[in-house]
Amino acid sequence: MEATPGGTFIVFDGTEGCGKSTQARMLYDRLSRSGAGAVGQLLLVRDPGTTRIGEQVRSILLNPDHAEMNMRCEMLLYMAARAQMMAETVLPALEAGKVVVSDRFVSSTLAYQLGGDGLTAADIRAAAETAIRGRWPDLTVLLDLPAEESLARVSRAKDRIEQRPMAYHQRVRTNYLAQAEADPARYRVIDAAREPAAVHEDVWRAAAPLLGGRGA
């Protein structure tokens, strides 16, 4: 597995409560301690969000008051926030040769919105190509956790997506695993039902070949 020239783009994804934010931060911190971040060579982002516009779109997407939102509208709002993040932060960082670590990306849309209102993977990928300008991740780390355990970890008030029924979240997990099976060169599935430190070591083994010795 080789990074695309110009920078390394690593995504953490998975169901609710699987530890995406924790593991993204742990990788970022490990690279920072190694000195890779000393000259601004690291960027940590969340999707949707990160930019001023992206954070506003995020608040719309996750607001439980917006129960009437159509799935195609939902998909396109995610892509809109993603397009702004790519243009404003991620693409310039990658072009400068930086390591970008993202909490969620297109893989989320291919799991959560697939099948809604008849959306196909081809529909989602076509919209994504426009939003991300063809810059797909070098590695997607899929933190796998059964839906029941995943939702049990969400202790705060659940957002609009988290409030959906268990059958929906079980289907989301299935959609994630299908992505990884279809593209094993760019996905790594890691068991998230363990202590964060143990999960991180597996994450590091998956990411290290792309990072040229940084963080060793």
pLDDT of 213 reads 57
Residue 103 CA to residue 22 CA, distance in Å, equals 9
pLDDT of 2 reads 47
Cβ distance 14 to 104 under 8 Å?
A: no
Report the CATH fold assignment for 8-210: Rossmann fold (3.40.50)
Q: For the beta carbon of residue 121, count every other beta carbon within 10 angstroms.
A: 15
Q: Where are the domains of the chain?
A: 8-210
pLDDT of 36 reads 59
pLDDT of 216 reads 54
Kindly state the tokens that stand for 170.
């079980």
For residue 117, give the 3-state DSSP assignment.
helix
pLDDT of 34 reads 81
State the DSSP code for 84: H
- pLDDT truncated to tens, each residue of the chain (216 aa)? 544 558 999 999 999 999 999 999 999 999 998 865 545 789 999 999 999 999 999 999 999 999 999 999 999 999 999 999 999 999 999 999 999 999 999 999 999 999 999 999 999 999 999 999 999 999 999 999 999 999 999 877 789 999 999 999 999 999 999 999 999 999 999 999 999 999 999 999 999 999 975 655
Shortest CA distance to 157 belongs to which of 20, 23, 54, 65? 65
pLDDT of 3 reads 46
For residue 204, give the 3-state DSSP assignment.
helix
Alpha helix locations (H) across the chain?
20-33, 52-62, 71-85, 91-95, 106-112, 121-132, 147-152, 166-182, 196-207
DSSP string, 137-175: -SEEEEEE--HHHHHHT--S---TTTTS-HHHHHHHHHH
